[in-house]
A and B are shown apart, each in its own frame.
Chain A
Amino acid sequence: DAGVTQSPTHLIKTRGQQVTLRCSPKSGHDTVSWYQQALGQGPQFIFQYYEEEERQRGNFPDRFSGHQFPNYSSELNVNALLLGDSALYLCASSLYTGSANEKLFFGSGTQLSVL
C-alpha cells in the first residue's frame, strides 16, 4: 500500500523561475492538500484540492497555483520565485468524509531552494 509520494525530493531554482512539484496521494485517498514549511516553523496551509477543484486556499499569493488530476494526483506550481519561497513543500492526502475528522497523511516533501 503506497503512501504519499512526492517528486522531486530536492530542487534548486533561481529567482524569477517557475517550478512544478508533484504529489501522488495514498491509495484510496481523494483529497490533496499542500503545505509550506519554512525552516524551524510549522507547516502553513497553501490550498486543498478535491474533485479536481480548489476547495480552500490559505494566505498565499496567486503565484501559487495547483491542479488535481482525475487519478487524484496533484501538482503545485509556483511562478516568479522569490528567495522567501525556499522551504519544504509538503503534500498531504486524506479521504473526504465531510465530518472534519479527516486524518492527514504527509509525504516526505520537496525541499526547494531559491538562489
Chain B
Amino acid sequence: GQQVMQIPQYQHVQEGEDFTTYCNSSTTLSNIQWYKQRPGGHPVFLIQLVKSGEVKKQKRLTFQFGEAKKNSSLHITATQTTDVGTYFCADNAGNMLTFGGGTRLMVKP
C-alpha cells in the first residue's frame, strides 16, 4: 500500500535557526496535508497542498509540493520555542489519511 516517509526523524535546533522536514513517497501523492502535534497533544491541521509545484506560506512556515507530486517539504524560518512538536505529513487519498512517521523538532532556547 501507499507509504509516506519523512526525514529526519528528529531535529535539534538552536532558537533562531531554520528547520526543514521532508516528506517522500515512491508513488504519486493525492493531496498533502501537514499537521503539528505538540508533546502530549493531538494532531492539529496546518495546511493542505493540492497542485503540483504549489507553495504556500503561513508566517514563518513555508510548505512546498513537488512538481511530480511525490514529495513535499515544510520549512520553518527562525524557529521559536513555540515551534516544538512533531510535524506530520499525510497523503489525503479521499476518505483516509496515510501519515508519515513525523519529524520531532526540539528547540533549544
Complex contact A108–B45 (CB within 8 A): no
Besides the known contacts A42-B88, A90-B43, A109-B42, 6 further A-B residue pairs in the complex with CB atoms under 8 A apart: A42-B99, A43-B88, A45-B98, A48-B95, A56-B94, A103-B45
Q: A42-B88, A42-B102, A59-B1 are in contact. Are A104 and B97 (CB under 8 A)?
A: yes
Q: What residues make up the interface of B, taking CB atoms closer than 8 Å to A?
A: 1, 6, 30-31, 33, 41-45, 48, 50, 88, 90, 92-102
Q: How far is the CB of B105 from chain A (nearest CB, A)?
A: 14
The chain B residue with its CB closest to the CB of A55 is: B95
Knowing A42-B101, A45-B97, A56-B96 are in contact, say whether A100-B31 is a contact too (CB < 8 A). Answer: yes
Asked whether B99 lies within 8 Å of A43 as measured between CB atoms, the reply is yes
Residues in A neighbouring B90, C-beta threshold 8 A: 42
Instruction: Please measure, in the bound complex, the distance between the C-alpha atom of A103 and the C-alpha atom of B46, giving whole angstroms.
Output: 9
Chain A residues with CB below 8 A from B92, complex form: 100-102
Q: Are B42 and A106 in contact (CB under 8 A)?
A: yes
Q: A48–B96 contact, CB under 8 A?
A: yes
Q: Is A41 an interface residue (CB 8 A)?
A: yes
